[in-house]
Structure 1
Amino acid sequence: MRTFLYLSLLFIIAACQQKQTATPTVAEYFNYGDTGVQTAGIKMIPIHTPVGNFKVWTKRFGNNPRIKVLLLHGGPAMTHEYMEAFESFFPKEGFEFYEYDQLGSYYSDQPIDSSLWTIDRFVDEVEQVRKALDLTNDNFYLLGNSWGGILAMEYALKHQQNLKGLIICNMMASAPEYGRYAEEVLAKQMDPKVLDTVRQIEARGDFSNPKYMELLLPNFYHEHLCRLAEWPDPFNRSLKHINSSIYTLMQGPSEFGIAGRLANWDITKRLPEITVPTLTVGAKYDTMDPEHMKWMSTQVKKGSYLYCPNGSHLSMWDDQKVFMDGVISWIKKVDQSAN
């Protein structure tokens, strides 16, 4: 009996030591194994497409064999810059993560062939990025915000065997439902006179009219996109660097509803096909219906829901503590259950 207790104690101690060493030290966390010139974690990844070969920009933070998060920005064709919010939180947790500019975005190549701007082509791009970064189902978490949420869902439907976890932030599973929510709920919260002028401009297709954004910025964007009194510099840089031709082609001229190639996108009936652990994030003031986001978490096989009571479309900024605490705790929970 005494020998059994002694061996059990040794086993417990060894298990605890193994668990402790699983979390990288600071030196290990910042050791990327690079030789030669150090590039601050930046890697230009070759992407093969039907119309040629291009490169996309990625930047790595940290080194963790169990938790690697790839961030998918919105737009389409915004930039990784507004996702820099994660730099204040993920390193402290020891998470390895990657910022990434999708093809056509500011820091990546920007080809002009319009045949490239399809969901299927973007999904294939993410898969090429995954392979280049050596992300596997033992460690790969995919986090998408807005359009990045569409891309993350579509990637999961095609390649979920490569995922450890999926995080869908501020994006519904149906573009028509998103449009209806904008029309039937958000538009009715706007000053009727302002709404009437906005609708007149839209009816004329006069989207370059400075009055259009002059009205939408205070009456819609500051209410439902980012509610901070002063927008953070990373978000302003992302707006400055948007590729408007791709954005308009796929999303339409503004966040106030949806048009373009994504107008009829809807995967609501396919959500049960997603079987990996999935977190959906909704927010009270979002352009997306938070109740729909909650419903989505009940349709996937292993769903969870995070609600940001003070957040909007960029709740990673305007309800930051709730958003980051919730996302981090969920990732840790999935990691612990898998190990």
Structure 2
Amino acid sequence: MTAYQLEDILPADVEGTLAFDGAETWYRITGDLDSGIVPLVVAHGGPGCTHDYLLRLTALARTGRPVIHYDQLGNGRSTHLPDAAPSYWTPELFVAELDNLLTGLGIAEAYHLLGQSWGGMLGAEFAVRQPAGLQRLVIANSPASMPLWSQAANSLRAELPAAVNETLLEHERAGTTDSPEYRQAMLVFYDRHVCRVVPNPPEVAASLAAIDNDPTVYTTMNGPSEFHVLGSLKTWSIVDRLPLIQVPTLIISGRYDEAAPVAVRPFFDLIPDARWRIFDESSHMPHVEETQRYLRVVQSFLEGAEPDGADPV
């Protein structure tokens, strides 16, 4: 197994855009798509985030496996559509965009897919359609339903200092979640349950700043924060469709993850060929918080071996 360096972010070998729905999807490829090794496609979270915070996964290309990152429509280097109607932003849109990416890059016949947070929700939405070319699926730090996500978030919020939680509640009741006080209190939750590496690494900070610069997709589909979900995904669930996923699936979460076990467990219980690894020193971003183990576990799974560790009881 290749030894990975903690700060290893490899440069892109190819960058480009693909036309989609009258707009453009930006992508970057680390490695060679003609290598003969099944590529890994990485879907970022949010919805409304960017690819940047997942760039440590480029280290997987050291084994010869091409790694493809992309910015979903409305985000990052892809076309921004701040004036699009709220109804435009749907899971079906992003499933179609992913399908267009695979076809445009010529890899639709064979690929692996890793989705983080919302990206894992998107990955599950994609996989239940049983696309022919999908070989293996990684669902990282994702809920199987947003009601379960909110249930988990409420439990974690109850563990915050009383003054912090009261500040959050006060501004949520008043509709002033854009206030500096709310954002400061929000960061207490984020430092515990989103990324425990503080200050956040540059690639993580870049993705969070991108949401601030254009919050269109995030606020429309999610809401003002990770734990106050008011957007169109508020009632989303894939629980009843999970048995349709017929590829080997690796589930990843962190011990302190905002995607707590209650929100993750349906993936493990209902996907026929699933294994679940919990990272004990991590919250929502074990690819940053425990990079070496994360890369080792993912690479092992993609190679067809059982990753280290055991499924939770």
Both proteins in one fold, TM over 0.5 = yes
Note if 1:43 corresponds to 2:12.
Answer: no
Partner of 1:169: 140
The 2-side partners of 1:257 and 1:297 are apart by: 26
Match among 161, 185, 204 for residue 215 of structure 1? 185
CA shift in 2, pair 1:260/1:144, >3 Å:
same
Q: C-alpha offsets along residues 60-115 of structure 1, whole Å, 9 cap, x if unaligned?
A: 1112323211111111121111111112x212221111110000002011123123
The 2-side partners of 1:326 and 1:99 are apart by: 19
Note if 1:260 corresponds to 2:213.
Answer: no
The Cα of 1:258 is off from its aligned counterpart by 2.3
Partner of 1:225: 194
The Cα of 1:295 is off from its aligned counterpart by 4.5
Higher helix share: 1
Is the 8 Å Cα contact of residues 60 and 96 (structure 1) preserved in structure 2? yes
The Cα of 1:229 is off from its aligned counterpart by 2.5
Percent identical: 29
Partner of 1:151: 122
Partner of 1:62: 31
The 2-side partners of 1:75 and 1:292 are apart by: 17
The Cα of 1:292 is off from its aligned counterpart by 4.3
Q: Which runs of 5+ in 1 are unaligned?
A: 1-38
Is the 8 Å Cα contact of residues 280 and 294 (structure 1) preserved in structure 2? no
Secondary structure of 2:163's aligned partner: helix
Instruction: Using the TM superposition, name which of 195-204 and 297-306 deviates more.
Output: 297-306
Q: After superposition, where does 1:110-121 map in structure 2 within 5 Å? A: 110-111=80-81, 112-114=83-85, 115-121=87-93
TM-score w.r.t. structure 2 length? Answer: 0.88
- Counterpart residue type for residue 161 of structure 2: D
TM-score w.r.t. structure 1 length? Answer: 0.82
Match among 148, 152, 161 for residue 191 of structure 1? 161
The 2-side partners of 1:212 and 1:292 are apart by: 25
The Cα of 1:259 is off from its aligned counterpart by 2.2
Note if 1:324 corresponds to 2:295.
Answer: yes
The 2-side partners of 1:283 and 1:160 are apart by: 29
The Cα of 1:325 is off from its aligned counterpart by 1.3
Which protein, 1 or 2, shows the higher relative CO under an 8 Å CA cutoff with sep ≥ 6? 2
Q: After superposition, where does 1:166-315 map in structure 2 within 5 Å? A: 166-183=137-154, 185-217=155-187, 219-242=188-211, 243-290=214-261, 292-315=263-286
Secondary structure of 1:215's aligned partner: helix
Q: C-alpha offsets along residues 168-227 of structure 1, whole Å, 9 cap, x if unaligned?
A: 1000111000101111x201210112101110100111011111111111x200101100
Is the 8 Å Cα contact of residues 178 and 257 (structure 1) preserved in structure 2? no
Q: C-alpha offsets along residues 256-302 of structure 1, whole Å, 9 cap, x if unaligned?
A: 24220000001111111111111111111110113543442231121
The 1-side partners of 2:293 and 2:262 are apart by: 17
CA shift in 2, pair 1:127/1:60, >3 Å:
same
Q: Which runs of 5+ in 2 are unaligned?
A: 1-11, 307-313
Is the 8 Å Cα contact of residues 178 and 258 (structure 1) preserved in structure 2? no
Partner of 1:97: 67
Secondary structure of 1:144's aligned partner: strand
Moved >4 Å (runs of 4+): none
- Counterpart residue type for residue 42 of structure 2: L
Q: Which protein shows a greater Rg?
A: 1
Secondary structure of 2:120's aligned partner: helix
